Structure 1
Amino acid sequence: MSALSVQETGIPGLLLVQLPVHEDSRGWFKENWQRTKMVAAGLPDFRPVQNNVSFNSTPGTTRGIHAEPWDKYVAVIGGAVFGAWVDLRAGESFGKSFSTKLGPGQAVFVPRGVGNGFQTLEPDTGYSYLVTEHWSEKAKSGYTFLNLADSSVKIPWPIALELATVSEADKTHPQLEEVTPVQPRKTLVLGANGQLGRALVAAAPSDGTFEFVSRSQLDITDQSQLGAVDFSGYKTVINAAAYTSVDEAETAVGRREAWATNVTALGHLAAVCTAHDLTLVHLSSDYVFDGEQEVYTEEDSLCPLGVYGQSKAAGDAVVSQVTKHYVVRTSWVVGDGKNFVATMAQLARDGVDPAVINDQHGRLSFASDLARGILHLLDSPAPYGTYNLSNDGEPVSWELVARKVFALLGHDANRVTPTSSVEYQKGRIGMAPRPANSTLDLEKIRGAGFTPRDQFEALSEYLAKESTGV
């Protein structure tokens, strides 16, 4: 009896599984699908939703080659088949093939877009296949086909096709040169008009694998809009949409809006991602902490001060229940749009000498670096979970940042005067409490292979681009 093992085949993602088969005088028994053991052995945790069984009474029954719009796991439950697979996905491996004989001791994991064909070799042969989407007539429109006798792939069918039992439909499928390659599932970015959304537009590959929508195009607080989206064509959702009016969240209207967007709508989005087995990337905030510690790790307990922070903390808890998730926690975001650095730059040019808080400390997080870090997580084998992500460097106060902005723009940094949080809030009604310390520990994101830039290096580049309009 062979041990359970998962082997690569030469087609990316197509995996051959060796299954232990227990035999005696009565017959045989095997664990055809055992999630825990097989995932540990190297099979993707693909979470099937439907099990189909095919039975063929005579040798030579031949089916295929069909590339379906889902992943599947194929195993023989009696008899033997000759299996053939051809990569029909766009990319360098398009047209690459793999074939082997399958008995009860073998199974194959077939990723979406890889064409599957088989030929029965023994009487009364059956096989089962688990799939990750429910079959429907609508889903069938997403199939891609290749001719069993394609002249370029040249699959070595043990029984000649002219002697085999083949359906009329399978006889008429196109040759490889006529096949339109299967495109990869997309990444959907919500909140494309925000600072992070715009940075992702600039940083993401321009090969059509990313789709960007603004709130005017898809408002996740509207369940009917969310329910109308066909998520079968996506693999990842990046949620860059949020209610971020920190002070307004302290009002009766703002409180409702903050929770509606940052919690309730996020819960609906999380449910969709769970149902479709999508990866959900969600942007979190330093406001989930009270600022009493000097540095916060991903493991520290959430303890928000104000309504905005409370809604973000609740949202983090919601997202953490999605199997495939990245909660990206950041602080002091600077990008294309309204932000502290842009405000200080305008004040410097307008001749205004600001008083800036000097008892709140943290690090800047430039949207361009956040975007690069998020794309790195998606492209790497980084485990799912929460990651702190900001720029690097010594923690600084808002006052020091303002002074740096003035100096980099050629203005006198002494025009910036320090003030305390208490003094700044005098006369200002409805200001939300802010964490005194927002510094995030970056060891986990470094361990995932991403090195954040120094915040002042990024600040210099940001101001240079802003000055030139590039």
Structure 2
Amino acid sequence: MQKILITGANGLLGQKLIEALKDREDLSLIASGKGDSRLPDTWSDQFIWESMDITDPLAIEQVMSNHLPDYIIHTAAMTQVDDCENNKEACWESNVTAVAHLVKSCEMHDVHLIHLSTDFIFDGENGPYDEEAVPNPVNYYGESKLAAEEIIMKSSCKWAIVRTVLVYGLASDLSRSNIILWVKDSLESGKNINVVTDQWRTPTLAEDLAQGCILIMDQSAQGIFNISGKDYLTPYDMALQTAEYFGLDKTLISKADSSNFSQPAERPLNTGFIIEKAKSELGYSPKSFMDGIGILSKQLKLADS
């Protein structure tokens, strides 16, 4: 039986991975996070919880030597882009130093590391990008994630880097919203919203991203894989599709461009991913953005029932 260690298991992707893997009889799951589990109580007999601070090499080594996992799916990171810009030391510790600790432990115990990265390693000058594109980050978050990739690529452990884009979804006990919920809540309360038309992304349903990671694990795939949605959209497009799905007033949505917003961290304009490699080599098949809205809508109804 293979053992899988998931870092950041309380987060959106972490929860989707646990949900997708918890009933598999060929796997033993070790879920980890900083502090206590916030996963649903009904799942608690289907994984082992380990409180693990990824910035502490002794804590990592203790968990690794106790469980000797075959794979680590490393989802834990500091991902709030403006927080990373404002607190560079904490960002580097969480996104780079922690990865160096994990890599060292993976090398020591012969563990296959599956690491989550981002489209923000690119400058957004000529997206969408394939796996061969040359990174050039425009903010500190992107710099930290690129530095982590470089550490992994130089390592002697088996590795796969999963690059993704604008992940959205619903999970238990999560405070962070997403563009679909923000648009839905704003329009339902009659608010006018300004949404940018000059940024392009391939938004990714969290369930699809989890499936991509699982395909990599099941096939022991190595290398870099773009795992994202298939639709190339602006946030304005995403807002219109959300309004259309829920039957809300599109006239409340106004066009804006990035210069209208003042944020500590610069955002790359046109990112998004070409996902042909993941489709052909892994059998990856993501949902459309409209289908993703439908999945969220069902989950919202279940959560309210």
Instruction: Please indicate, yes or no, whether the TM-score normalized by the shorter chain is above 0.5.
Output: yes
Deviation at 1:376, TM superposition (A): 1.0
Gaps of 5+ in 1: 1-183
SS of residue in 1 equivalent to 2:71 = strand
Instruction: Measure, in 1, the Cα distance between the counterparts of 2:59 and 2:235.
Output: 40
Distance 1:468 1:229, change over 3 A: closer
Deviation at 1:414, TM superposition (A): 2.0
| 1:454 lines up with 2:288 in the alignment | yes
Give the structure 2 partner of residue 243 of structure 1: 78
Deviation at 1:381, TM superposition (A): 5.3
| Aligned equivalent of 1:228, options 17, 38, 62 | 62
Give the structure 1 partner of residue 261 of structure 2: 424
| 1:332 lines up with 2:166 in the alignment | yes
Distance 1:325 1:411, change over 3 A: same
Give the structure 1 partner of residue 195 of structure 2: 356
* Equivalent residue runs for 1:100-179 within 5 Å: none
Worse overlay, 406-415 or 242-251: 406-415
Give the structure 1 partner of residue 28 of structure 2: 209
Deviation at 1:468, TM superposition (A): 4.0
Distance 1:221 1:327, change over 3 A: same
Give the structure 2 partner of residue 110 of structure 1: none
SS of residue in 2 equivalent to 1:297 = coil
Contact 2:8-2:32 within 8 A present in 1 as well:
yes
Instruction: Measure, in 2, the Cα distance between the counterparts of 1:220 and 1:247.
Output: 21
| 1:302 lines up with 2:135 in the alignment | yes
In structure 2, what residue type is equivalent to 1:375? Answer: I
Deviation at 1:401, TM superposition (A): 0.5
Instruction: Measure, in 2, the Cα distance between the counterparts of 1:272 and 1:201.
Output: 22
| Aligned equivalent of 1:376, options 215, 225, 243 | 215
| Aligned equivalent of 1:292, options 93, 104, 125 | 125
Paired residue total = 279
Contact 2:16-2:206 within 8 A present in 1 as well:
yes
Contact 1:199-1:335 within 8 A present in 2 as well:
no
* Equivalent residue runs for 1:404-443 within 5 Å: 404-425=241-262, 430-443=263-276
Give the structure 2 partner of residue 152 of structure 1: none
Instruction: Measure, in 1, the Cα distance between the counterparts of 2:76 and 2:132.
Output: 24
Is the strand fraction higher in 1 or 2?
Answer: 1
Deviation at 1:218, TM superposition (A): 0.7
| 1:392 lines up with 2:230 in the alignment | yes
Distance 1:381 1:266, change over 3 A: closer
Deviation at 1:300, TM superposition (A): 1.0
In structure 2, what residue type is equivalent to 1:249? Answer: C
Contact 2:64-2:105 within 8 A present in 1 as well:
no
In structure 1, what residue type is equivalent to 2:297? Answer: L
Contact 1:239-1:282 within 8 A present in 2 as well:
yes
Give the structure 2 partner of residue 163 of structure 1: none
Deviation at 1:455, TM superposition (A): 2.3
Give the structure 2 partner of residue 255 of structure 1: 88
Query: Which string of whole-angstrom CA distances, capped at 9 and with x for unpartnered residues, describes residues 36-92 of structure 1?
Result: xxxxxxxxxxxxxxxxxxxxxxxxxxxxxxxxxxxxxxxxxxxxxxxxxxxxxxxxx
Query: Which string of whole-angstrom CA distances, capped at 9 and with x for unpartnered residues, describes residues 222-275 of structure 1?
Result: 223123224353100011100011012111xx1111100100111010110111
| 1:465 lines up with 2:299 in the alignment | yes
Contact 1:185-1:233 within 8 A present in 2 as well:
no
Identical amino acids, percent of aligned pairs: 30
Is the helix fraction higher in 1 or 2?
Answer: 2
Contact 1:190-1:215 within 8 A present in 2 as well:
no
| 1:279 lines up with 2:115 in the alignment | no
Deviation at 1:390, TM superposition (A): 0.5
Distance 1:381 1:280, change over 3 A: closer
Contact 1:388-1:440 within 8 A present in 2 as well:
yes
SS of residue in 2 equivalent to 1:228 = helix
In structure 2, what residue type is equivalent to 1:265? Answer: A
Structure 1 runs of 4+ with >4 Å offset: none
Instruction: Measure, in 2, the Cα distance between the counterparts of 1:294 and 1:222.
Output: 36
Instruction: Measure, in 2, the Cα distance between the counterparts of 1:230 and 1:280.
Output: 12
Query: Which string of whole-angstrom CA distances, capped at 9 and with x for unpartnered residues, describes residues 433-462 of structure 1?
Result: 111112101011011122222222222222
TM-score, length-scaled by structure 2 = 0.87
SS of residue in 1 equivalent to 2:228 = coil
Give the structure 2 partner of residue 34 of structure 1: none
Instruction: Measure, in 1, the Cα distance between the counterparts of 2:61 and 2:207.
Output: 31
Q: What's the Cα RMSD here?
A: 1.6
Contact 1:215-1:241 within 8 A present in 2 as well:
no
Radius of gyration: which is bigger? 1
Instruction: Measure, in 2, the Cα distance between the counterparts of 1:442 and 1:230.
Output: 32
Instruction: Measure, in 2, the Cα distance between the counterparts of 1:210 and 1:439.
Output: 31
Contact 2:52-2:63 within 8 A present in 1 as well:
no
| 1:185 lines up with 2:12 in the alignment | no
In structure 2, what residue type is equivalent to 1:403? Answer: L
| 1:403 lines up with 2:237 in the alignment | no
SS of residue in 2 equivalent to 1:362 = coil
Deviation at 1:465, TM superposition (A): 2.1
In structure 2, what residue type is equivalent to 1:466? Answer: L
